[in-house]
Structure 1
Amino acid sequence: MKQGYSKYAVVDLEATGASNSSKIIQVGIVIIENGQIQQTYQTDINPHEPLDEHIKGLTGLSDARLSQAPDFQEVAAEIYDLIADAIFVAHNVKFDANLLAEALFWEGFELRTPRVDTVELAQIFFPTLEKYGLSNLCQCLDIDLTDAHTAIADALATAELFLQIQAKIKSLPKALVEVLLDLSQQLIYETHLAIQDVYQQMPAWDSKTYLERQGLFFRKPQARPRERKLSTDFQKNLALLGLDERKEQAIFARFVQEALEEEESSFLQAQAGLGKTYGYLLPLLARRQKKLVVTVPTKVLQDQIMESEGRKIEEVFGISFHNLKSPSSYIKLDLFKESLQHKQENRLIIRCKMKILVWLTETLTGDLDEIGQKHRYQPYLKTISHDGKISKKSLFYGEDFWQRGQEKASKSRVLITNHAYFLTRLEDDSNFIKGRLVVVDEAQKLFSALESFSRQSLSMTKILQGLQEELAEERPLLEKRLLESLQFELGHQLERFQREGLAELEPGAVAKIRQDLSELDLASLEPLKALFAQQFDQFWLESEQLENHRFLSLQAGRFALLDFQEFLPEDVKLFFVSATLSISRKVNLAKLLGFEHYRFYSLPYQTSKQQQIWIDETFPDVTKLSLHQYAKLLVQRIESLARLNRPLLVLFTSKDLLLAVSEGLSLAHLAQYRNGEAANIKRRFDRGESMILLGTGSFWEGTDFASQQQMIQIITRIPFDNPSDFFPQKMNKQLRLEGKNPFYDYSLPIAILRLKQALGRTLRNHQQQSAVLILDNRVYSKRYSKQIENALGKLAVLSRTDFPVIEGEMKDFFSPSKKRSKRSSKKS
């Protein structure tokens, strides 16, 4: 049997910088032959120039040490002889191979060895990881990297990584490796050689670990564990899960038990951090054999519950959980199989196809959110995502993940979903919850989800482009005139918006557009017909600045509030759970959702000793700052607090401000919109890939930071609704009709609830410590400030002082063993 290439030189260089003109200061080489490390080589190199402080700190090298090292010309022949007949392997091979080849060239040696990049190989064969830096891979794969950024330590770690990659390849079916080998010919460098080497040594037979269908390989479905009955004693169930007893959680669980006996729907309020998820799951599963649906605000929180509480309960009690998402979250195997036939594509898509082929041997769900760095492949992934339809003629009828998921959903004891998809499913088929118990977690967000559900949106650019394409076709004269009329009316409304800022469509224009659409029977106009359907009575244009372009959309909405009860079948018992159910004395979440009869349970708030809130009196009035000024000041605060060396979450109400701060930060960080979707950057932050996370949206209310024992949180602005947005205007009109004050009875209480929710994100258990900095002086400078201060003061100690004092007090807060300094701060 032909053995192929079997000698590899794994190389790592340290240099005076990261550019092509940098000089080598250290070389580490590990020789691998026949799957074993056979030899190592290391040497310092004298660059004959001083190192900058960054390189000294990174590598631990000094000018004095390198002054005693050999020149490169003294070791060039030795290095060349060692690696000239091997495949050159490195982590980010372009840098190391180019730098070493050029240095050798000037000494008379031409290095023409094939190159293999372990970054690219790791991206393919470890498809669910989010980051492929050497240190992150070593942490995930349990590879020793004690002396990172010394050449021999990095080379040894890369060699171990390379061997693990080859072992992973060897564990796959040979027929699959053959497909991967074929695709790898189109990758950069000679990465295919590492796959070819393993392929040539694989036995002809394949493991029975996988199922093969139409050239794709799948992990065999796992047998369900036998379900065990839970105890009716909440504390006993906690002990079986290995969890400690918590007084407030036990009270909350008792409320759930009481609510279970009531006929009406129940609203249960308890502050964040007491473990509400176990507090409702365990009593409901123990005391009723009914199936359970849990809906939460975001997919981030949905995945979080599945990976934490859901997995733990499944392991201990054998209770089946299913993560229910929209079809587009899943891969459609027919589309993926078809896409494998398209060969003329860029390397990024080729690599994504290879990742997916490997991922299919691992996944049990087919959920595309599992794929690492998903945002990089988003355009391609959209072309292979599911549409919720599966034909019996499908090549993968029995293996289709969406179909399997629906079957599992019908049998599973617990379904976890998100508010948006929950409402979609209810509208399509309300019977999917019939006879089940339903928990609406973070229930205050269901109201805004209902509002989003009551709207339609289309890209204005796509609408006008579509009309232009239809006009370019040969058509009867009447159709042509109707299309021209549509084009004129929509174009005129766009012109009003761009020139005069008038967003709302004129009633006369709406009537004319509806009339024109009713006389046209074209498939391409169906989305526009749906948007102008009779249930909508408000139409407006909306502009959003994305990272690379401005997105203009046409929006349709209903001015009347949706009645949630209209979505529900009769035989369903609901539990609404949140830390923030009470809006104000005059406005009630239950009434807003359409409930006249209900039971309300509330645990009194307790001031936490594990959290402290500071208000920065030295920060200017945020309403008077330009975007540039605001971002610059925030960068200064973030970089100052980063010196405390604690995970730092920064919450924004503005995407533009978030991106401006991200642009200005000199420290490594993760930023929403810039580094991927919220779920992905949350996972990366939890794994410690960065100590700073900039977020908005779901990070205020739909994400928990439970894995960090100590955290700093910066709230950049009070999260008031934008008064010019459609929904606040709708609420204000409704409340005025009811004789209520829109600001004091709704807008202000909602902003306070969001602040409370934000504080709860970083206080998820009794061991966690959370230091919160608020930078909006309206917390203390307005007529309504006392209401905000009183609400926050019930949750944690609230201090108002200068930023230098805050820095010192935060340091003391995280170091209770040290004597707290007696800085004077004004306690609110």
Structure 2
Amino acid sequence: MTDKKVEKKYAVVDLEATSASATAQIIQVGIVIIEQGKIVQTYETDVNPHESLTKHITDLTGITDEQLSKAPDFSEVASPIFELIKDCIFVAHNVKFDANLLAEHLFFNGYELRTPRVDTVELSQVFYPTMERYRLSDLSLNLKLNLEHAHTAIADAYATAELLLKLREKIANLPKLTVENILAYADNLLFESRLVIDEVFSQMSPELPKGFVEVHNLVVKKPEPLLSERHLAADFTRNLALLDLDERPAQLAFAGKIAECYDDPRPVFIQGQAGIGKTYGYLLPLLSKVQDQKIIVTVPTKALQDQIMNQEGRRLAEVFHINCHSLKSPQNYIKLDNFAASLEREDKNRLVNRYKMKLLVWLTQTRTGSLDEIRQKQRFEAYFDEIRHDGNLSNKSAFWDIDFWNLSYERSKSCRVLVTNHAYFLTRIEDDKDFIKGHILVVDEAQKLFLNLEQFSRRQVKLNPIMKSLHELLEKPANHLQKRILESLQFELSNLIVQFYQNNQKIIPKHQVEKIRQDLLEVNSSDFLELKEALAPVFSDFWLSQEWSQEHRLTDLNSARSDLMTLSNFLPETAKSYFVSATLDISDRVSLPNLLGFEDYDFIRLPQEATQGQTIWLDSSMPNIPSLSSQDYASILSDKVKKLRQLRQPILVLFTAKEIMFSVSELLDEAHINHLCQHKNGHAANIKNRFDKGESSILLGTGAFWEGVDFANQDRLIEVITRLPFDNPQEHFTKKLKRQLSLAGKKPFYDYSLPVTVLRLKQAIGRSKRKEYQRSAVVILDNRILSKSYGPLIYQSLNQEFPLKVQNFDRILSEMAQFFKNI
């Protein structure tokens, strides 16, 4: 007699209720029964709660009081519900709420529900590790689940049932060894969620599927072999057709200039309209013209780097078999040695153990090993810092042949197109001049490389979290020697902070820098990485500064190079260099080539049309900011935000100082206006995601929101620039820079400070217009553009790219309303 395995029976349940609280009344029940891996039965009913629904619940679910007045009491449906699910595993998306609420209602009617519980939210987080969000609506979109009538109980239950089947299928297609490793941590899942994994595991084949390799109990994808490259056509439009792309006149003109200028030995700067398709515009003619040479493309952000690889890079590989590769700094990759060591360690933190499961799944699907692919890392960033690569890999490592950073580094030598980002590009060419020597270089959005170069010449690290980490490490030092080193480091940093606040000693003496450097050399290589970078030998000037967060004072350690860096001196000799952007002209006095230090270059300006779907207003009624007290300034800004709120559009408010941002936030709190504030409600990425999800229609931000955060998810957006982003003239670096420029015979303000401010301003404005269909209205609340002698230079530079209007604030409100109405 054969032993036939009996598959478990699942009841997938969703409830709609009068609220999300524990005391809520059920108003709708949806149940889907799964047996033998198939949906075999459904059940649905309305329930009369004998109380009125809130407008929110009616709007959310579409259920009305009139509809429920005709529905049965729960007591009338309790028996059939209990009989249907009593011998099943209870499944729900956020099972705690549904199971507790239903069990309580059944108990009051004489039925005790003791079924095991499975949560599809947490299972989805483990087995779909690269998703941004795990709401049922998001999962339905990504996994093509049937959810036509969201927030009705049966529709949500049916979609959750389909999700459960997808999860079972996903688990079944994983290598058995991976699932076995996951089960070692599965008791950390909520309730009895591991039952789904156990059931699938019992039926899995032990054979390792094709395309995978197992090394020391870890399973990863086999590295992809290099493609045999096909030749591109000499004609640009022919290559476009092969890629199934339409011709665009502006793109054709841009590509023509790329090809035409190749034989000119000088670097070429090409200013072209945003949105013309510049990536194909430079890649196709260069790949066609030069058959054997490597093309290195550097772009502003890792996000854009990934986008190019996933779109243009993928299509070039599919159609022409071009080997494209993305290269990031080592810290972006997982270090398998460290990850394997963490698996051997028993962690009591449930969240860390869930990340281990998540990463085991991810290793079977990633081709890059880039931790940027993993979402929601911020909930336990310390663990990811532990497993990040440090660029050091022993040739005795068990994972040498499959180490992602090692493979990426080696592949970068053989690929035809290499895509990187500005920050890593600068780091790499400083360490390895041969990286681009003799190759073709394309700097995309070249104006941002200059801003990266400026940041590359200095560093800043916050000492508060470092002091906290030191305190935690000293509670359980690895050994006596480690304890002495950590105590020495703690003493040196504490002494710096005391001298700064008690004696106003800002400059850090060289002997103290050397002592801290020595201590850092002897601590674990992955600890205090930011501090090590800030104290690197390339920096010569070190000083302390302070800033205020919402709750306490922060102390910053700053470092800078002795000389002002120019790209022309820093860049190795290339076969050809292209600098492309929509923003190369800055003012009549300064262009980007000047700022980068180039004297002999070719500058091509392609025809530009004014940006569509975006308008800038300058507020002529704004008073002179320096004449205002901080309190009055914050009050004026909060009043303007309140008025803009009446337009019922998402609002991004950019500040140059945290203190004013927090003051405005407090005033909005006092007025009971819901908003998100950076550093108060979370870091930039976190509150950006919450803003995108619609948790609030107002976001207050600084820092990263000027530079690297795009707002592509908002079809409409109001952007408020509270102040022009000039450098602080009292900052140590700014003063030093001013002296150096003056000695070189330049005018520091007009030749540097003003152009950099214009670049930052344009960059911030560009954050709100990332797609063709978007509409963004920008209001600048700084009248220096209208009142200062340098104002016309800013006005002229902005007016070249954007429709620009000068109005009082009331008129701006009226025109903005019409602007959004005309969509």
Superposition TM-score tier, normalisation by shorter sequence: 0.7 to 0.9
Residue identity matched to 2:806: R
In structure 2, C-alpha distance between the alignment counterparts of 1:457 and 1:776, rounded to whole Å: 28
Alignment-derived partner of residue 725 in structure 2:
719
> Any stretches of 5+ residues in structure 2 without a counterpart?
none
Which of 378, 381, 385 does residue 381 from structure 2 map onto?
378
Q: CA contact under 8 A between 1:670 and 1:690: conserved in structure 2?
A: no
Query: RMSD between aligned alpha carbons?
Result: 3.9
The amino acid of 2:763's aligned partner reads Q
1:20 to partner: Cα distance: 0.7
Moved more, 95-104 or 615-624: 615-624
Structure 1 residue 464: deviation in Å? 11
Residues 704/24 of structure 1: CA separation in 2 closer, same or farther (3 Å cut):
closer
Q: Check the 8 A contact 1:272/1:760 in 2, yes or no.
A: no
Which one of the candidate residues 577, 583, 586 is aligned to 1:574? Answer: 577
| Residue of structure 2 equivalent to 1:400 | 403
Once the two structures are superposed, what CA deviation does each residue of 1:120-153 show, in whole Å capped at 9, x if it has no partner? 0100111110100011100111112111111111
The structure 1 residue matched to 2:319, chosen from 310, 316, 319, is 316
Check whether the contact 2:590–2:755 (CA below 8 A) recurs between aligned residues. no
**Is there any run of 5+ residues in structure 1 with no aligned partner, and where?**
818-828
The equivalences for 1:252-331 within 5 A come to 252-289=254-291, 290-331=293-334
Task: Report the TM-score, using the length of structure 2 for normalisation.
Answer: 0.87
Asked if residue 772 in structure 1 is aligned to residue 778 in structure 2, the reply is yes
Partner of 2:209: 207
Deviations 1:602-647 (CA, angstroms, capped at 9, x unpaired): 2354324443223345666666454864674465356434x35xx7
- The aligned counterpart of 1:115 is 117
For the 8 Å contact 2:14–2:31, the answer to whether it is kept is: yes
**Matching residue of 1:756:** 762
Farther off after superposition, 360-369 or 305-314: 305-314
Partner of 1:165: 167
- Of 534-543 and 763-772, deviating more is 763-772
Instruction: Using the TM superposition, give the Cα deviation of residue 53 of structure 1 relative to its aligned residue in structure 2, in angstroms.
Output: 1.0
Please point out which of 30, 55, 58 is paired with 1:56. Answer: 58
- The whole-number CA distance in structure 2 between the counterparts of 1:569 and 1:561 is 17
- Verify: 1:636 aligned to 2:642, yes or no: yes
Identify which range, 47-56 or 450-459, moves more after superposition.
450-459
CA distance in 2, matches of 1:28, 1:519: 65
Q: CA separation in 1, counterparts of 2:536 and 2:68?
A: 75
Distance 1:734 1:269, change over 3 A: farther
- Of 227, 233, 236 in structure 2, the residue corresponding to residue 234 of structure 1 is 236
1:550-589 equivalences in 2 (<5 Å): 551-589=554-592
Aligned to 2:742: 736
Structure 1 residue 208: Cα displacement: 2.5
Q: Which residue number corresponds to residue 85 of structure 1?
A: 87
Partner of residue 442, structure 1:
445
Cα distance 1:628–1:224, how it changes in 2: closer, same or farther (>3 A)?
Answer: same
For 1:685 and 1:520, locate their aligned partners in 2 and report how far apart those are by CA, in whole Å. Answer: 42
1:549-581 Cα deviation digits (max 9, x unpaired): 654332222342124344443454322222333
Between the aligned partners of 2:749 and 2:260, the Cα distance in structure 1 is 35
Could you tell which deviates more after superposition, 485-494 or 85-94? 485-494
Identical-residue share of aligned pairs (%): 51
- Say which of 58, 61, 68 aligns to 2:70: 68
Partner SS, residue 555 of structure 2: strand
Q: Which residue of 2 aligns with 1:825?
A: none
1:140-151 equivalent positions in 2, closer than 5 A: 140-151=142-153
1:185 counterpart SS class: helix
Q: How many angstroms does 1:173 deviate by?
A: 1.9
Aligned to 1:523: 522
| 3-state SS of 2:32 partner | strand
Q: Secondary structure of the residue that 2:188 maps to in structure 1?
A: coil
- For residues 779-818 of structure 1, the aligned pairs below 5 Å read 779-801=785-807, 806=812, 809-810=815-816, 812-814=818-820, 816=822
Q: 1:689 to 1:305 in 2, by over 3 A?
A: farther
- Greater CA deviation, 775-784 or 297-306? 775-784
Instruction: Indicate conservation of the 8 Å contact 2:675/2:699, yes or no.
Output: no
1:253 Cα deviation after fit: 2.5
Which shifted more, 309-318 or 379-388? 309-318
Q: Choose the corresponding residue for 1:175, options 174, 177, 180.
A: 177
**Is 319-328 or 226-235 further displaced after alignment?**
226-235
**Correspondences of 1:610-689 after superposition (within 5 Å):** 610-616=613-619, 624=628, 626=631, 629=635, 632-633=638-639, 636=642, 639-641=645-647, 643-644=648-649, 651-654=654-657, 678=685
Deviation for aligned residue 1:651: 4.5
Q: Look up the equivalent residue of 1:440 and give its one-letter code.
A: V
Select between 307-316 and 403-412 the one with higher mean Cα deviation.
Answer: 307-316
Provide the C-alpha distance between the structure 1 equivalents of 2:325 and 2:575, rounded to a whole number of angstroms. Answer: 19
What is the match of residue 253 of structure 2?
Answer: 251
- In structure 1, the partner of 2:154 is 152
Letter in 1 for 2:541: Q
Bigger mean CA deviation after superposition, 381-390 or 691-700:
691-700
Alignment partners' CA distance in 1, 2:779 and 2:316:
36
Change (3 A) 1:455 1:668: closer
Q: Which of residues 28, 38, 42 in structure 2 aligns to 1:26?
A: 28
Q: What whole-Å deviation, never above 9, does each CA across 1:157-186 have from its counterpart, x for those lacking one?
A: 111111111111111122322222232123
Asked if the contact 2:678/2:702 (under 8 Å) is kept, the reply is no
Task: After superposition, give the CA deviation of every residue in 1:349-400 in whole Å (9 maximum; x if it has no partner).
Answer: 1111111111111111111110121222321111111122222322222111
- Once the two structures are overlaid, the 10-residue window that deviates more, 532-541 or 372-381, is 532-541
- CA gap of 1:697–1:319, structure 2 versus 1, over 3 A, is farther
Residues in 1 aligned to 2:570 and 2:711: alpha-carbon distance in whole angstroms:
33
Q: For residue 132 of structure 2, what is the aligned residue in structure 1?
A: 130
Q: Which secondary structure state, in structure 2, belongs to the residue aligned with residue 596 of structure 1?
A: coil
Q: Are the counterparts in 2 of residues 639 and 667 from structure 1 also a CA contact under 8 Å? A: no
Distance 2:251 2:746 in 1: 36
Paired residue secondary structure (1:352)? helix
Supply the distance in 1 between the matched residues of 2:373 and 2:363 (Cα, whole angstroms). Answer: 11
* Contact in 2 for aligned 1:136/1:689 (Cα 8 Å): no
